[in-house]
Structure 1
Amino acid sequence: MKLNKKFNLLLITSAIFLIASACSKPNHEERTNKKGDNHIALISDINGIKDNSLNQSAWNGLKDYGTKNDLPEGNKGYNYFVPKDPKYYQTTINEALDKNFSTIIGVGYTLKSNIIKAAKNNPKKNFVVIDAHTPKLKNLTGVSFKNQEGAYLAGVAAAYTTKSQTVGLVLGQNSKEMASFKAGFIQGVRTTNHKHIKVVSQTVGNFSDANKAHDIAQEMYNKKADVIFQAAGKSGQGVFKAAQEINQARPVGQKVWVIGSDEDQSKLGDYLAKGGQPSNFTLTSVIKSADLAVEDIATQTASGKFPGGKTLKYGLKNKGISLVQGNLSYHTWIKVQKAKQKIIDGKIKVEKD
C-alpha cells in the first residue's frame, strides 16, 4: 500500500515537473502567422526611439497601429526594444522572441544581418527590416526607400536657397543607402541650372557620433557653405548644433541652414538670433515615412497576408518619401513641387549612385 502511494506521488511530481518545464521554455516555432495574431516588437538600433529620425518614425507608426486596433502597449500587444550596443542586436531580437512576439521589426540596415539570421532560425515567426533590401524568405520582408528621390528635392531646395554658392552634405556612413542620398542630392543641385554651385560632402562613419558630425558641419560652414543637408541619423543632431552656434551670433538675415532627414526636424532648428529674436534655421526636411510602412505591414499581417519574400519600395509616388515646405521661399517651393511631379511622372530619372 505504501509502495502504491509512493508510486502515485512520483507520477504526480513528474507530471508537475513536465508542465513547469513546458511553461518555462517559450516555443519560438509556434505558428504565429494567423489572422488576428499580431503581437509586434520593434527593435531600434542603438539610438533608440527618440532619435528624431527613422527609429522614432517607425515607432510612431507602430503606436498608431496599436491605438487604431486596440492593442495594448507592452508584451501582450506591441512594444519596443533598444540594444545597448550593436554586439547585442541578436540578443535583443532573441529577447523579443522569448516574449512570444509574432512579428519582429528591425529598424535600419545595420540590423539586417541579425534579422535575416533570426528569420532563418525561426521560420514560423514574421520578420521585417526597415530601410534595407532582404533575401526572398517567406517570413521576411524588407522595406526600401527611394532615398535618391528625396535627396534630389533637397538638392533643388539647397540650390535655390544658397547665397554663398556652396552647399554641404553630411552622411552617416559608407553604404549603398548613403550613396543614393549623395547621388540624388548632387543631381538635384546640378539640374537646376546652378551648375557653378560647389557641393562638399563628408561621412561621419556611423549614425551615433553627434560630436564628429558637429565638427564636420562647423568646418563646412567655415568654408562658406550656407546650406547643409544632413542624412546621418542621430549623428545629424551635431549638424544642428553647429548651425545653432553660428546663428546665435548673427542677425536673422545672415543665418546658415540645415536640411533635415527621416522625420520633420523643424523643431531642431529653433533658436534665438543675435539680439534675442526667435527664429528657425531648418530649411526643410526630407521625410522617410517609416511610420506608413510599419502600419501597412502590420495591417496586412493582421489580415493573414504578411508580405513575406518581398522588398516593399516606398518613394514619392506612393508617399513613402516627401519634403516639407518648412522655411522654403514660395519660389523655391514651386520649383521643388515641379521637380517632384516630374519624378513621379518618370520625366526625371534620379540616379542611385
Structure 2
Amino acid sequence: MSTLSARSRVPALAGVSALSLLAAACGAAPEESGNGGSASGDFKPCMVSDSGGFDDRSFNQLSFEGLQKASEDAGLEPITVQSNSPTDYTPNLNNLVDQGCGLIVTVGFALADATKQAAEQNPDVNFAIVDDNSIELDNVKPLTYDMAQSAFLAGYAAASFSTTGVVGTFGGSQFPTVTIFMDGFADGVQYFNEQKNRDVRVIGWDVAAQNGSFTGGFEANEVAKNTAQGLIDQNADVIFPVGGPIYQSAAQAIRDTNRPVALIGADADVYVSDPTVADLVLTSVTKGLATSTEEVVTTAADGSFDNTPYVGTLENEGVGIAPFHDFESRVDPALQGELDAIRAGIVDGSIEVVSPSSPN
C-alpha cells in the first residue's frame, strides 16, 4: 500500500427516544439512586449534556447510551442533567457535585471551562469529558477520537460512489472536533484520486486553507438547509454534514432536489439512529462514544478510575464507518475490499492520515 504524504496545516477543530431519557431539567433533583446490592456501593454515575440535549441522535445521545449501559450492568441508577444553553453548564455541574456524584461525564468540548473549574474545586470527584483534551488534572479523563481516520474511509467511499465528480461537506461551527472530520473526508477523496487517476472535487472545505462552509451552529434550521442546497447546486451528489442535527436539514434539501444525492452521517450510524432519513444514507462516520463512556463509567464504579487520555482510533475500534445498508448493491463491488485494505494501511502506518485537529 502506498503512503499518503503528510501535509503541514494551520490548526482549526442506536437511537433512543426522548421518552427513555433520564435527563432532568437544570437544577432539578432526581430520585434517590437504587444500587440494587451492587458491589459499587453508593457510587453515583452522572452526566451533563451540552445544549444539544440527550435526544440529538448524535454525540449526546450516544454518550448517554454508554452511561446507561454501564449503570445497568453495575446495578446503578445514573443521574443525568440536560443543558438547555451554555449558561446551564456550571449550575448543572454544581448540582451534580452537591448530589454526591462519584463520576461526572461532561459531553462536549463546550463544557471544558466549566468542567475544569468544577474539577479544580472538587478534587475528590472524578470527571470525564467527551471531545476535549485540554484539561490536565488528576481527576479528569479526556475522551477523544481521531475522526480523520474514519472520515478518510468515508471520503474514499464518497469519491468512488459519485457520478458527478463532485462531493461536498459542511460543518456546524469551525471547531477542531468538526474540522477533523472534514480534513479526513477531503484527504480520503484525494487518496481515491491518486489511486484511481480520477479528479473528484471536494467543495465546502479547503484543507490547505483550513476554511469552508459552516452554518454557525448545530441546529437543524433554514441556514443548514440552504448550505446543503448550495452544495447540491454545485453538482455535489454526496453530502457530508458535520455537526449533530444539521444532517436533518441536509436531508430536507436532498428530498427537495430533483436528482439523486446521498447523505453521509456523522457520530452515529444515522441509518439506525434516524430511520426517517435511512433511505438517503450512504454510510456514516462513527465515533465510539457509547463504548468509551461505558468503559470510563465501569472503571470508575470499580474504583479503578485513571486520568489516562482515551483516544479512539481505527485500531481500537473507537472510530469507524457504518455499513452501506441500502446502498450496498449500488456501490462498486470492489469498494469494501479497498476500504478494508486502506483501514489496514492506516492501522499499520503505511497510509498516513494527519489532521491538525487529531488528538495526541
TM-score (norm 1): 0.81
| Equivalent residues of 1:189, 1:195 under 8 A apart | no
Contact 2:71/2:297, CA 8 A, preserved across alignment: no
Q: Is the partner of 1:316 in helix, strand or coil? A: coil
Counterpart for residue 337 of structure 1: 340
Q: How many residues get paired?
A: 301
- What secondary structure is seen at the aligned counterpart in 2 of 1:128? strand
Match of 2:191 in 1: 191
CA contact (8 A) 1:134 1:311 kept: no
User: What is the match of residue 214 of structure 1?
Assistant: 225
Distance 1:218 1:269, change over 3 A: farther
Corresponding residue of 2:119: 119
Q: Deviations over 1:144-199 (max 9, x none)?
A: 10011111011011110111111011112112222322221111000112551111
Query: Is 2:268 the counterpart of 1:263?
Result: yes
> 1:299-310 maps to which residues of 2 (within 5 A)?
299-308=298-307, 310=308
Listed as ranges, the matches of 1:103-142 within 5 Å are 103-142=103-142
Unaligned regions of 5+ residues in structure 1, if any? 1-33, 72-76, 272-278
Name 1:54's counterpart in structure 2: 59
Work out the CA distance in 2 between the residues paired with 1:180 and 1:351.
9
Matches within 5 A, 1:57-96: 57-71=62-76, 77-96=77-96
Give every structure 1 segment of 4 or more consecutive aligned residues whose post-TM-superposition deviation is greater than 4 Å: 34-37
What is the DSSP-based 3-state SS (H/G/I as helix, E as strand, rest coil) of the residue aligned with 1:181? Answer: helix
* Alignment CA distance shift 1:144-1:51 (3 Å): same
Moved more, 191-200 or 134-143: 191-200
Q: Which residue of 1 aligns with 2:7?
A: none
Residue by residue over 1:19-67, the C-alpha shift from the partner in whole angstroms, topping out at 9 and shown as x without a partner, is: xxxxxxxxxxxxxxx9655311111111111111001110111111122
Residues 163-182 of structure 1 aligned to structure 2 (within 5 Å)? 163-182=163-182
1:289-348 deviation per Cα after TM superposition (whole angstroms, max 9, x unaligned): 11001111111112211112x321111111110111222423322222221111111111
Shift of 1:270: 4.5
Please give the residue correspondences for 1:152-171 in structure 2 after superposition, counting only pairs within 5 Å. 152-171=152-171
Q: 2:45–2:71: 8 Å Cα contact kept in structure 1?
A: no
Q: Which has the higher contact order (CA 8 A, sep 6+)?
A: 2
Matching residue of 1:317: 315
Letter matched to residue 147 of structure 1: M
Letter paired with 1:339 = I
Structure exhibiting the larger radius of gyration computed from Cα positions:
1
Alignment-mate amino acid for residue 242 of structure 1: A
Which letter maps to 2:301? Answer: A
Describe the SS at the equivalent of 1:192: helix
SS in structure 2 of the partner of residue 280 of structure 1: helix
| AA matched with 1:325 | P
DSSP 3-state at the match of 1:168: strand
Corresponding residue number in structure 1 for 2:46: 41
The whole-number CA distance in structure 2 between the counterparts of 1:41 and 1:270 is 31
Q: Distance in 1 between matches of 2:99 and 2:247?
A: 34
1:29 is matched with none
Give yes or no for the alignment of 1:148 onto 2:153: no
TM superposition shift of 1:209: 4.5
Alpha-carbon spacing, 1:79–1:240, altered in 2? closer, same or farther (3 Å): farther
Cα distance between partner residues in 2 of 1:130 and 1:258: 25
The root-mean-square deviation of aligned C-alpha atoms, in Å, is 1.8
CA, structure 1 residues 236+210, in 2 after alignment: closer, same or farther (shift >3 Å)? Answer: farther
Letter in 2 for 1:350: V
Q: CA contact under 8 A between 2:74 and 2:298: conserved in structure 1? A: no
Q: Which residue of 1 aligns with 2:256?
A: 245
The answer (yes or no) to whether the contact 2:242–2:266 under 8 Å persists in 1 is yes
1:101-142 Cα deviation digits (max 9, x unpaired): 111111111111111111011111011111111332111110
What is the letter of the counterpart of residue 271 of structure 2? Answer: S
Partner amino acid for 1:285? Answer: S
Pair 1:349 & 2:352 matched = yes
Aligned letter for 1:82?
A: Q
Mapped contact 1:35–1:301 kept (Cα < 8 A) = no
Q: Distance in 2 between matches of 1:89 and 1:211?
A: 27
| Fraction of identical pairs, as percent | 27
Instruction: Find the aligned partners of 2:239 and 2:161 in 1 and give their Cα distance.
Output: 11
* Cα distance in 2 for residues equivalent to 1:70 and 1:135: 30
Structure with the higher fraction of residues in helix conformation:
1
Counterpart amino acid of 1:66? S
Q: Distance in 1 between matches of 2:340 and 2:276?
A: 25
CA distance in 2: counterparts of 1:55 and 1:245, whole angstroms = 29
**2:355 is aligned with what amino acid?**
K
Instruction: Give 2:283's aligned residue.
Output: 284
Question: Unaligned stretches of 5+ in structure 2?
Answer: 1-38, 205-212
Instruction: Write the letter of the residue equivalent to 1:42.
Output: M
CA distance in 2, matches of 1:36, 1:140: 22
- Matches of 2:245 and 2:43, distance apart in 1: 30
